[in-house]
Chain A
């Protein structure tokens, strides 16, 4: 598969604070979903903003396949980050999908909504949409933008399990039909394991990835339990990853609890 995005030796810290991301290396291919997991403060949203170009890395590089600044990339933030004061309608949101180049015609807006399985009036305010509808409208925006890389910050937040499944299936459909690379941050371990092609687990200075075939929900929950602090898992070790692979003082074998989730 063709590589869409390469991250090499990426380090980032906010002003005068400890490093949020340290020596991060990974690649994302076309037609692939990368799921980013990790505890709060682990640097997930920061990484997404770095990939979007909203933040600049201290050191390291982020390269897109065509190495042009015009890579069609769309950033879908959490709903709470939008300015809810404006009575923005679905039509207005989607009409602006190709700004600053052009205003999207109404028929294209309707077609994109239909592709996402939505039959909503375009004059409906975005603020009145349910979480699932809102995410699907934003996927329609990604279609209209003809995005090749889609960055999504917690798309399943606030959805029930059925809604999460439906949305992630739509994301998978979008990936395969448009040959897009999708990078999503999520806290829902089961859904990420089920729907993402590859994983990236982050906790500030620690990260690991490319072990989806070896991990399961309980291992990931255990890593959440000790918040990756003493986790020393690296790609080169290979094999089945279990509790013996991290050096945590807590004996997970003795613990009835599956661990603390965020």
Chain B
């Protein structure tokens, strides 16, 4: 049972557990909407774009300053939001920009991030470490950030689940009905960006996409109605994250990669189970 008791004995493991479960709550809440809205590639694009923000902040923030982690989060968030704004503007009540345009966005921002880090911040930390994250290096500030986001985002989504569902089901018809769909559209982009930036250290630029997508894919496949997609997605995200974390700790595997593989594997098992029944 040491693989369980380790979490209580080692503070860094407890931090990892709490942060991963927190990220599961956030991603589990947003994931069905991201998948249903067909924003999978968009989420990937935002997460890659966030590397530009990390790079600028790493390069220009003093490494010894007080509250570095918080300012790193805040700076990355602001820069990523600025970069994401054109995407949010061009997708409101429009057909999505072409795949090529989204690809152009994230390769440009990611490339710029790597170049800026190379020129200005090569000695100020490992930028590429953010590609896969490192859940074992989390600080209390990271936990507080995830906690605050849970307190902000989950009530706004869960209390208005029916509104969100109708907004995604038919944006135009719902808008005519009187729902301010513009607010929902930009809020969704804002929430996705917040969660991605908060999750960069936990699962990294690349692997956070499994967190953002697989719970939603699972929920949309198995939930009997739209309202329950949120519950299905949340339960799936929490269960798989916990399982992956225990597995990673027991077998000494990287956490982010373990979460991605466990989530995908669990989803495929669920498909086989559904087919069999």
Interface residues of A (CB under 8 A from B): 49, 52-54, 73-77, 81-83, 85-89, 91-93, 95-97, 99-101, 103, 123, 125, 145, 151
Tell which of B13-21, B109-117, B164-172 binds the partner. B164-172
Q: A87-B224, A99-B166 are in contact. Are A53 and B180 (CB under 8 A)?
A: no
Interface size on B, residues (CB 8 A): 28
> Contact: B166 with A89, CB < 8 Å?
no
Are B179 and A85 in contact, CB atoms less than 8 angstroms apart? no
Answer yes or no: B182 CB below 8 A from chain A CBs. Answer: no
Knowing A83-B168, A83-B169 are in contact, say whether A89-B226 is a contact too (CB < 8 A): yes
Restricting to B84-132, which residues have a CB under 8 Å from any CB of A? Answer: 93
Which residue of chain A has the shortest Cβ distance to B179 in the bound complex?
A100
Chain A: minimal CB distance from B1 (Å)? 40
Asked whether, in the complex, the Cβ of A85 is within 8 Å of the Cβ of B165, the reply is no
Shortest Cβ distance from B108 into chain A, in angstroms?
25
Q: How many residue-residue contacts, CB under 8 A, span A and B?
A: 87
List 7 A-B pairs, minimum CB-CB distance, nearest first.
A75-B176, A85-B36, A96-B166, A88-B226, A89-B225, A86-B226, A52-B176
Interface of B is mostly: helix
Is the pair A88, B225 in contact by a Cβ cutoff of 8 Å?
yes
Selected A-B contacts with CB under 8 Å, 14 pairs: A54-B172, A54-B176, A74-B176, A82-B169, A82-B170, A83-B37, A83-B170, A87-B223, A87-B224, A87-B225, A99-B174, A99-B178, A99-B179, A100-B178
Q: Please give the distance in Å from A203's CB to the nearest CB on chain B.
A: 24
Measured between alpha carbons, how far is A100 from B166 in the docked complex, in Å?
10
Confirm or deny: B229 has a beta carbon within 8 angstroms of a beta carbon on chain A.
Answer: yes
Q: Write out the residue numbers on chain B whose beta carbons fall within 8 Å of the beta carbon of A101.
A: 178
* Other-chain contact of B176, A53, A88, A92, A123 (Cβ < 8 Å): A53
**Chain A neighbourhood of B93, CB < 8 A:** 54
A77 touches B179 (CB 8 A): no
Q: Which residue of B lies closest to A145 (CB)?
A: B177
- Chain B residues in 8 Å Cβ range of A93: 169
In Å, the complex CA distance between A81 and B176 comes to: 14
CB distance from A216 to the nearest CB of B (A): 34
